[in-house]
Amino acid sequence: MNAHGIDVSVLSLGNPQLDFLENGDEAVHVAKRINSELQDLCSQYPARLFFLGCLPTTASLPAIHSCIQHLQTLPLHRGVVMGYRGFGNGLDDPSILPLFHTLADQKLPVLPVSLGFSTETTMAITRMYLAGIFDSVPGLQLILSHAGGMLPFSARRIERFVKRKSIWDVLRGNILLDGIVFDKIPLRAAADAVGVERVMFGTDHPLFPSLRKEGLYDICVKNRDAAEACFGKDASEYEGVMGANAVRILNLR
């Protein structure tokens, strides 16, 4: 963070989340332990570190709700992270609707993390749209990695297949994006699709090794340079993507 001039970061658990824990009781115990440890870690760096909590999606719905209640006692959490498998049948599975309603009611944004990167993100959110998830839970807020995959490019095609509320209303009302695309062209498309005020800088650290030898992390540098080339370093849009949007959306204060 110091090397790249990053003032504040939001931490989250990486893949495969807790999906590999088949025993629901064990998953609940592990989720609460991880969330408590993240709270303890972030509290060592006041105003610099926050976190997204993890959920035990192999547990029963009441048990998952108990984890959400526990998470609400941890002041440095700013949302939740989960895999795209949901309860085992994807995020368009009707059985997950009660959880989405709870997360929306609690105003907890959800970062679904994929194993299939942009392709899985595109497929999963398309299925959610076609299944009417966003009609059923209009307050649901998703943070999509990799600038939403192909969604900015395929949005109009997606909404041709079923009569739902406009895909553009979903993108601009339910979807938040990171800016991890390395280039100004896809970043511009992402900003136009959801609104530049809903795009946030991301690092992917430490998931991929850096090729740089001077101590800087490739992805941080490339995404910063892409934002500068797209918006201009002195523009308010650049300031928003590089930090102000996340501070506002996730209340990083």
Q: Are residues 252 and 147 in the same domain?
A: yes
Q: Give the tens place of pLDDT for each residue, 2-24.
A: 989 999 999 999 887 898 999 99
Numbers of helices and strands, H then E, in the chain: 11, 7
Of the candidates 191, 156, 157, the one whose C-alpha atom is nearest the C-alpha of residue 172 is 191
Residue range 199-232, pLDDT digits in tens: 999 988 887 777 766 778 888 999 999 999 999 9
pLDDT tens readout for residues 111-141: 998 788 889 999 999 999 999 999 999 999 9
Please give the average per-residue pLDDT across 138-147, as a whole number: 96
The pLDDT of residue 206: 80
Within a domain: residue 249? yes
Residues 119 and 179 in one domain: yes
Looking at 36, 55, 80, which one is the last position of a domain?
80
Question: What are the C-alpha distances in Å from 96 to residues 62, 79, 99, 221, 248?
Answer: 12, 17, 5, 37, 28
Average pLDDT, the chain: 93
Three-state secondary-structure class, residue 215: coil
Same domain, yes or no: 75 and 124? no
Distance, in Å, from the CA atom of 222 to the CA atom of 211, rounded to the nearest integer, reads 12
Answer yes or no: is 239 within a domain.
yes
**Domain assignment of residue 248, yes or no:** yes
Its pTM stands at: 0.94
**Residues 171 and 249 occupy one common structural domain:** yes
Question: Contact at 8 Å (CB) between 56 and 35?
Answer: no
92 domain residue, yes or no: no
128 in the same domain as 71: no
pLDDT value at residue 213: 63
Query: Which of 63, 80, 97 lies at the terminal end of a domain, its last residue?
Result: 80
Residues ≥6 apart with Cβ < 8 Å to 172? 193, 194, 195, 198
Domain count, the chain: 2
pLDDT more than 70, % of the chain: 99
- Phi, psi (degrees; rounded to nearest 5) at 113: -105, 130
Note down the domain range covering 183: 114-253
